[in-house]
Amino acid sequence: MKKYVFLLLLIVGFSCKEENKEAIREAEEKSMRQSALIESFKYDPEARPIVSVHRGGKAIKDYPENCLETLAYVNDSINAIYEIDVAKTKDDVLVLMHDNTLNRTTTGEGKIIEHTYDELKKFNLVDDFGVETSFKIPLFKDVLNWAKTNTVILTIDIKRGVVIKDVVALIRDAKAEDVSIIITYDLKQAESVHALAPELLLSVSARNDKELDWLLHSKIPTTNMLAFTGTRFSPDEFYKKIHAHGIKTILGTLGNLDKQAESKGDALYRRWVGKGIDVLATDRPFEVAQALKE
């Protein structure tokens, strides 16, 4: 009899302990101040379209991609948000870099994961035309601090091998929640990031009805979603369906669509916005910004 009583007490104790953990977790989530972007990025048919600058600025003479000086240069000219890529060094320092290797965008060579941050300081960044600049590979935390100081929104692409909780930790340390959007590529990753950082806005993949349905039935509130609809057009009705849930849409014009606009006229960007696009992710930020003004 004593064994049964002991077992019962053990089960009850374990159950209470788990309930307490869940209550603490829920209290912590409620105490987190939501990013201001969750409110400001709600779909609004009257809102102006947004320019998203791919890799922080590409194909700009004397200004390399994923470079703090490039972000500042573009930001001095247009209103935009900036997609950046976060990679990890050999000694676990988070920096901005798109490629796995240093060869294309710096004066260095080899994989970034094989170099310490101190070693990276020896290299200069190279622009898209192969011209060496005096600019250095920036620390992610420095870019966060710049963005917060200048109220500039970043969409953060976390490269393979980078621990997401480390990215979130730096965002929180910098108190940069109001300028940070985490990019996710599938439902599993999106749910994982939301569980880790429920206060942040996420860019989620919604390229078709199936992906949208997955998201709508997930644990992620629609208020925390910014829908990336791919680099090809979807039917106009699909964008309306996303908007019906209060979610803004992103179209990646980078690549073929940017080339189409370059050859046929930048007025195409205005036509695409009219289809139901709220954010244009582009390699031609100056041209898109000018087209949307006209």
What does the pLDDT look like over 123-143, one tens digit per residue?
A: 999 999 999 999 999 999 999
Residue listed under structure tokens 């014009």: 253
Which CATH code of 1.10.260.40, 3.30.460.10, 3.20.20.190, 3.40.50.720 fits the domain covering 184-294? 3.20.20.190
* pLDDT exceeds 70 at position 252: yes
**What does the pLDDT look like over 205-232, one tens digit per residue?**
999 999 999 999 999 999 999 999 999 9
- Domain boundaries of the chain, sorted by first residue: 63-159, 184-294
Q: For residue 86, what are its two tokens? A: 């976060």
Superfamily per CATH, domain 63-159:
Phosphatidylinositol (PI) phosphodiesterase (3.20.20.190)
d(CA 266, CA 173): 40
Task: For residue 81, give the 3-state DSSP assignment.
Answer: strand
**What does the pLDDT look like over 50-61, one tens digit per residue?**
999 999 999 999
For 168-179, letters b (16+ CB in 10 Å) and e give bebbeebebbbb
Domains 63-159 and 184-294 share a fold: yes
Percent of the chain at pLDDT exceeding 70: 89
d(CA 81, CA 41): 12
Q: Where does the pLDDT of residue 30 fall: very low under 50, low under 70, confident under 90, or very high at 90 and above?
A: very low
* pLDDT exceeds 90 at position 23: no
> What does the pLDDT average to over 61-77?
98
Q: Residue 294: what pLDDT?
A: 82
d(CA 140, CA 95): 5
Give the mean pLDDT of the chain.
93
Q: Where does the pLDDT of residue 5 fall: very low under 50, low under 70, confident under 90, or very high at 90 and above?
A: low
Q: Where does the pLDDT of residue 27 fall: very low under 50, low under 70, confident under 90, or very high at 90 and above?
A: very low
* pLDDT exceeds 90 at position 1: no
**What does the pLDDT look like over 265-278, one tens digit per residue?**
999 999 999 999 99
- Taking alpha carbons only, the member of 119, 68, 66 closest to residue 90 is 119
d(CA 50, CA 28): 33
**Which of the pair, 88 or 33, is modelled with greater confidence?**
88
